[in-house]
A and B are shown apart, each in its own frame.
Chain A
Amino acid sequence: MHELSIAMSIIAMAEEEARQRGVQVNAVHLKLGSLSGVVKEALLFSYELACEGTLLEGSRLLIEEVPTVVYCPDCQAERTLASIQRFYCSVCDSPASEVVQGRELEVVALEIQQ
């Protein structure tokens, strides 16, 4: 369960922005890859807990889930994986281990209010 420390990092980051800009943060928009090793539900739960007593108290965490995309060397094309249990091209079934997308754990935007 490392989601609590991840949530605390997200909050620290957003608090820093809130202070610098002198604004209130209503919501944090996060991109979460299916290969990030972070569980969405656990992160949402931790976020709410970790927000208490901070500038982010009462804010929402909005998570955009990002599927894992690999590069297929045989097709020379990017393919979205149906499951991270199988790193094979969805078209030609060749092994495809080069990850193009899916490791994201990134704050992309903040909804702020003066």
Chain B
Amino acid sequence: MSTPPRLVEVRQKVLKQNDLLARSLRQRFHDAGIYVVSLVSSPGSGKTMFLEKTLSRLHEQYRVAALVGDLATENDAARLARSQAPVKQIITGTVCHLEASMIERALEGWNLDELDFLFIENVGNLVCPSSYDLGEDFRLVLMSVTEGEDKPLKYPTIFNTADAAVITKIDLAEAVEFDALTANNNIQSVRPGMQVFEVSAKTGAGVEPFLQYLESRFAELRRDSRGGRAAHY
């Protein structure tokens, strides 16, 4: 005997498990005093080269490390290892984005207390990574001058969930007639007030202001966590 169908309320976030795990990772990062930056962009926008430059420069003064997501190869980790920083590759197989559980697994064996900065390079994709919190403090979205000024309008969700934007390969801007004003207007349209950095990892142009920005965020985090610890005593 079947009864008539009825509706029961459930109210459960589909990505609840990822969100919970990301929250506990964020707590671990904060307890260890690490500033965590994730990078998202489409394939070929220059994430790896930009990260290589960033790691090399920060490595002079800070303890830095990186996790790098890729569908199939370990090439990116090999490139990033040239910066002398510890690097671990996360091969996602067919998965088009990183999830908090992959970060947790990749961190096994690393002593977080020995780090100042951790960078997480997501799989090249401007759609899927936007839904997954990785426990990062700061999400950077990158676009290169060769991709066209309307990228933010085509992928508003990822630009909206990011904290700052980096326009890469700025040394090619003239050659590809990149319109920086239009690009910036488009970024501001989907994320009003977003900080934008124009850089060339190749020539080094614009890298210093970006590093100074990161350093000030890191100093802020350390000030806050020290204040938090002092309050305990």
Expressed in whole angstroms, the Cα–Cα distance for A35 and B7 within the complex equals 27
Partner of A35, one of B11, B97, B160: B160
Contact between chains at A87 and B158 (CB < 8 Å): no
Contact between chains at A107 and B12 (CB < 8 Å): yes
Contact between chains at A95 and B192 (CB < 8 Å): yes
Whether A84 contacts B156 in the complex (CB less than 8 A), given A111-B5, A112-B6, A113-B4, comes out as yes
- Smallest Cβ-Cβ distance to A26: which chain B residue: B5
A114 at the B interface (CB under 8 A): yes
Scan residues 13-30 of chain B and give those whose CB is less than 8 A from a CB of chain A: 13-15, 17
- Closest Cβ–Cβ distance, residue A46 to chain B (whole Å): 12
B85 at the A interface (CB under 8 A): no
Contact between chains at A111 and B6 (CB < 8 Å): yes
B111 at the A interface (CB under 8 A): no
> What secondary structure prevails in chain B residues at the interface with A?
mixed
- Closest Cβ–Cβ distance, residue A22 to chain B (whole Å): 12
Residues of B in contact, count (CB < 8 Å): 34
Contact between chains at B193 and A37 (CB < 8 Å): no
Whether A85 contacts B156 in the complex (CB less than 8 A), given A26-B5, A97-B193, A111-B7, comes out as yes
Contact between chains at A108 and B189 (CB < 8 Å): no
Contact between chains at B190 and A86 (CB < 8 Å): yes
Scan residues 148-168 of chain B and give those whose CB is less than 8 A from a CB of chain A: 153, 156-158, 160-161
- Closest Cβ–Cβ distance, residue B186 to chain A (whole Å): 8
A15-35: CB near B (< 8 Å → 1, else 0) gives: 001000100001001100001
B212 at the A interface (CB under 8 A): no
Residues of A in contact, count (CB < 8 Å): 35
Across-interface contacts of A37 in B (CB, < 8 A): 127-128, 130-131, 157-158, 161
Expressed in whole angstroms, the Cα–Cα distance for A112 and B9 within the complex equals 10
Partner of B192, one of A13, A97, A110, A113: A97
B157-185: CB near A (< 8 Å → 1, else 0) gives: 11011000000000000000000000000
Contact between chains at A107 and B157 (CB < 8 Å): no
Scan residues 72-114 of chain A and give those whose CB is less than 8 A from a CB of chain B: 84-88, 95-97, 99, 105-114
B139 at the A interface (CB under 8 A): no
- Closest Cβ–Cβ distance, residue B187 to chain A (whole Å): 11
- Smallest Cβ-Cβ distance to B95: which chain A residue: A5
Across-interface contacts of A108 in B (CB, < 8 A): 9-11
A50 at the B interface (CB under 8 A): no
Contact between chains at B14 and A13 (CB < 8 Å): yes
Expressed in whole angstroms, the Cα–Cα distance for A10 and B10 within the complex equals 12
Expressed in whole angstroms, the Cα–Cα distance for A14 and B141 within the complex equals 34
Contact between chains at A109 and B128 (CB < 8 Å): no
- Smallest Cβ-Cβ distance to B156: which chain A residue: A84
Contact between chains at B190 and A109 (CB < 8 Å): no
- Closest Cβ–Cβ distance, residue B208 to chain A (whole Å): 27
B191 at the A interface (CB under 8 A): yes
User: A6-B14, A97-B192 are known contacts; what are 12 more A-B pairs with Cβ within 8 Å?
Assistant: A1-B96, A2-B96, A13-B10, A26-B5, A35-B157, A35-B160, A37-B127, A37-B131, A106-B13, A107-B11, A109-B7, A110-B10
| 8 residue pairs A–B, Cβ–Cβ below 8 Å | A35-B160, A97-B192, A106-B12, A106-B14, A107-B11, A111-B7, A112-B5, A114-B3
